[in-house]
Structure 1
Amino acid sequence: MDMPANAKMQTISGKKYVFIDAPYWNAEKHRGEHKRRYIGKIVEGQFVPNGKYLLSLEKSGTIKPGPIPATECKRQFYGATYLLDQIGDKLGIVDDLKASFPDRYKQLLSLAYFFVLEEGMSAYRLRKWALTHKHPYGRDIPSQRISDLMGSIDEASKMNFFRRQAKRRAEKEYLAFDTTSISSYSELIKLAKYGKNKEGDHLPQVNLALLYGEVSRLPVYFRKLTGNTADVSLIRNLMLDIDFLDMKKLSFVMGRGFYSEKNINDLMKRHYKFLIGIRCGLKIARKHLDEIRGEKMISWENYHDDVGLYAMSFTDEWDYREEQPRTGKCICDKRRVYVHIYFND
């Protein structure tokens, strides 16, 4: 492109810059002055206009708009993150995160993508990962900002997300409740306490309680707990949180570690349906086991092809007890329960 006739050139630090000089009258100072507008520079003897000057020429119709030269060239991985995008949309995770964390949901998604795809990697490695992968946030999250981001997740927003996810799962499937323990060498984690370790590690641990869809295996709620919290003491806190999540018509599936008379009475009090494992030594199980010992249970009529086990079911009565909080009066009643016995030879 030719340099405009009214343009002037000035050399600064060995480089030639091109300006358009426009004289005007300064009414306040009562004198003539000049206003310069930078429009480009001289490169290898040729005038190279800047973007702002080209845009003004296009708007005025002096030149026709042309292709914009690429100023950045990069290659990014997109296959795995595209898959996670589709999963997040299908499961409603993106919509629920956006509703619960409107100003930071993209950062949370990108952080989650990193931890899923780079399992075991420290958070400071996110900087390199973000440059080579296409992800929702699209930019790097410095390690100090990750700490701020995680610390900004307040309880109300988190429970709002749980409530939205729980409604999606509870409409189609049962919800199962279980706990797991995570051992740690750290001396700084306040929740890390010595407890009953299922893996046999002689280390302090943090317990994690999880409520999830029994078919989809997708979580809808979790709680971090001290390592010395017993499973049997979790049900009351779970039911308080469930009330807050505003979930209707729940059916719980739980392991025998959650069994206690108090828990069963609390579940019945709130009219929740439940399926819970019990120990064979309990009276309610032992009396039915005595009925079927020998070859009575091992017959084709009791064999279930779908699970590959012998199974029998019995109707029984539960001694229900409820203590009224104000008067201290105990209500005693009989409630119907079903005992299911499974046998694998």
Structure 2
Amino acid sequence: MTAIVYQTNKKTGVTYAYESISYWDKEKQQSRAKRKCIGRVDPETKKVVPTRKKKQRVVEEKAKRGPAPITASARSFYGATYLFDRIGKNTGVIEDLKACFPDSYRQILSIAYYLTLEDKSPLSRFPRWASIHRHPYGDVISSQRSSELFASITEEAKQRFFRLQGKRRLEKEFMAYDTTSVSSYSKCLRQVRYGKNKDHEHLPQINLALLFGQQSRLPFYYRKLAGNISDVKTLKKLLADMNTLGYKKFKVVLDRGFYSATNINDLYKHHMKFLIGAKLSLKVVKTHLDTVRDTMCNWTYYSQDYQLYAYSLPIAWNYVQDRPYKGDKIKANRRMYLHLYYSPERALEDEIAFNNRMADLQKELESGQRHPDHEKQYAKYFEVKITPIRGTKVVAIEEAMAEAKHNYGYFTLLSNEIKDAVTALEIYRNKDLVEKAFDNLKERLSLRRVAVSSEKSLDGKIFVQFIALIFLSYITKKMQETNLFKKHTLQGVLDEFDMIECFEVPGQQLQVGETTKRQMDLYTKLDVTPPTSLQ
């Protein structure tokens, strides 16, 4: 039963009207009433004047996680983001992000999708993209909101994400490890320093270290570090980080920039399996190379696939471990395999390049136009004689030139697990996956220049770009495996998917637009089931 009840506030003298609804309370076995204020009574007209409703406070995303329910019909592009959704499930990225960033994983995914799909596009254009595409967050993220998002990404959550992703594949494959430099004009970032710039740019930089799976061909871990840190100094921290993440044993591939006796000892100490490039000038390499130089160039050791000679032999590594807590050192021999290679083609290329360089140096000396940076090479390879009659005479030091050419075409690898030289070479050459990943980060994902003003925003932005790199790497891998690169570019494939529309109607299943046979074939080759008309 409903009735209108009037009640006067004794302090203010204002009379309010309430809607009273009577009901029977089964538990208390008595009649009860619910009252709701509908307004105040005007003292002159005696009419009920509705009171103003209080504004409800809107709390973004915390009231209910997930995309906002559809309130109006909408048509948007869906084919490419459908692909990313399936890749995210296949790699576990969506599940792991949700576990680590429960309140913001949808925003992270949406920006990662945008970076993956839109080649070299700045984040300032994300709102335009979001307004015409269906994506995990389902709404526009302004520049200010994206900066807040980046700043909210904590180191603890990132480390947890690395841990979850690592459990899916880390111990099953060799991990290629390398670093790159990212130039910056910013004076606000503490780690921006001058160092060895790998892009040969005369700018201060930060360095980025990346760990990349060779079989999965997916990035697993990265770390930002100061621009003046050399490669050889980063390995100890990598081993410490892997130990913190709970991975006490893993396999790593390193180029010769990471070689040092200390690093090799650390790898043995942590029981890590490794494959690393080394310089021919090292005593441990030079001694053995001189004894097998003629033998290794026999037909028995020739690899037709790589068109070079490959030779392996077991050697002993003089292991040393300092024990400060006991004040002593452990010294022992550890098993190691030395892989030696000779490429006739590479030897010829090296000799031609050397001869051209020597010819340039000789011209500089004869013309008197000496370059300050070349003084050491002048002294090493030439004798300069100046006489009043003949003028300047430049004579080559043949012994020095012969010594320089002595090792042309040769290179070496060291490993404590891989016994076969050809297998070691195949694994080592796959390390260029990291180089390609760095190219994708810098060029396609817009990390060529650091353009943020705070450390937190930079850290968060790089993490989102890292997530986008996982999607790019997955697509690249599948395209290589199915030979799609013979007829397609990566952007061309994504554009083909991006033409597919979807239609959203409140209270109904998502309707997907027409899909061509060509598009369905591309989905299948990328190991993704094509979308059906209803999702």
Q: TM-score range by the shorter chain?
A: 0.7 to 0.9
| Equivalent residue number for residue 329 of structure 2 | 330
Q: Secondary structure of 1:75's partner? A: strand
Superposition pairs for residues 215-254 of structure 1, below 5 Å? 215-254=215-254
Report the Cα distance in structure 2 between the residues aligned to 1:178 and 1:169, rounded to whole angstroms: 19
Superposition pairs for residues 175-190 of structure 1, below 5 Å? 175-190=175-190
My pick for the range that moved more, 136-145 or 165-174, is: 165-174
Task: String of CA shifts for 1:236-275, please: whole Å, max 9, x gaps.
Answer: 1111100011125311111111100111111111111111
Task: Give the AA of the match of 1:323.
Answer: D
RMSD of aligned Cα (Å): 2.5
| Equivalent residue number for residue 111 of structure 1 | 111
My pick for the range that moved more, 248-257 or 277-286, is: 248-257
The offset of 1:25, in angstroms, is: 4.3
TM-score of the superposed pair, with normalisation by structure 2: 0.51
Report the Cα distance in structure 2 between the residues aligned to 1:210 and 1:71, rounded to whole angstroms: 43
| Equivalent residue number for residue 211 of structure 2 | 211
Superposition pairs for residues 48-63 of structure 1, below 5 Å? none
Report if aligned partners of 2:302, 2:308 keep a CA contact under 8 Å in 1.
yes
Structure with greater helix share of residues: 2
Report the Cα distance in structure 2 between the residues aligned to 1:224 and 1:25, rounded to whole angstroms: 68
Report the Cα distance in structure 2 between the residues aligned to 1:237 and 1:337, rounded to whole angstroms: 23
The offset of 1:196, in angstroms, is: 1.1
Report if aligned partners of 2:242, 2:248 keep a CA contact under 8 Å in 1.
no
Superposition pairs for residues 31-110 of structure 1, below 5 Å? 72-110=72-110
Task: String of CA shifts for 1:42-66, please: whole Å, max 9, x gaps.
Answer: xxxxxxxxxxxxxxxxxxxxxxxxx
| Equivalent residue number for residue 340 of structure 1 | 339
| Equivalent residue number for residue 285 of structure 1 | 285
Task: Give the AA of the match of 1:156.
Answer: E
Q: Secondary structure of 1:320's partner? A: strand
| Equivalent residue number for residue 199 of structure 1 | 199
CA 1:242–1:34 in 2, change beyond 3 Å: closer, same or farther?
A: closer
Task: Give the AA of the match of 1:179.
Answer: T
Task: Give the AA of the match of 1:302.
Answer: Y
Report the Cα distance in structure 1 between the residues aligned to 2:226 and 2:4, rounded to whole angstroms: 77
| Equivalent residue number for residue 303 of structure 2 | 304
Q: Secondary structure of 1:297's partner? A: helix
Q: Secondary structure of 1:177's partner? A: strand
Report the Cα distance in structure 2 between the residues aligned to 1:264 and 1:277, rounded to whole angstroms: 11
| Equivalent residue number for residue 26 of structure 1 | 5
| Equivalent residue number for residue 142 of structure 2 | 142
Task: Give the AA of the match of 1:337.
Answer: M
| Equivalent residue number for residue 360 of structure 2 | none
Unmatched runs of 5 consecutive residues or more in structure 1: 1-22, 38-69
Q: Secondary structure of 2:74's partner? A: coil
1:316 matched to 2:315? The reply is yes
CA 1:211–1:71 in 2, change beyond 3 Å: closer, same or farther?
A: closer
Report the Cα distance in structure 2 between the residues aligned to 1:34 and 1:339, rounded to whole angstroms: 91
CA 1:248–1:239 in 2, change beyond 3 Å: closer, same or farther?
A: closer
Task: String of CA shifts for 1:150-177, please: whole Å, max 9, x gaps.
Answer: 1111111110000011111224321111
CA 1:34–1:262 in 2, change beyond 3 Å: closer, same or farther?
A: closer
TM-score of the superposed pair, with normalisation by structure 1: 0.78
Structure with greater strand share of residues: 1
Q: Secondary structure of 2:161's partner? A: helix
Report the Cα distance in structure 2 between the residues aligned to 1:271 and 1:197, rounded to whole angstroms: 32
| Equivalent residue number for residue 121 of structure 2 | 121
Report if aligned partners of 2:179, 2:209 keep a CA contact under 8 Å in 1.
yes
The offset of 1:73, in angstroms, is: 4.3
Report if aligned partners of 2:171, 2:250 keep a CA contact under 8 Å in 1.
no
Point out 4+ residue stretches in structure 1 off by more than 4 angstroms. none
The offset of 1:138, in angstroms, is: 0.7
Q: Secondary structure of 1:225's partner? A: strand
CA 1:308–1:97 in 2, change beyond 3 Å: closer, same or farther?
A: farther
Question: Which one scores higher on RCO, CA 8 angstroms, separation ≥ 6?
Answer: 2
Report the Cα distance in structure 2 between the residues aligned to 1:156 and 1:25, rounded to whole angstroms: 58
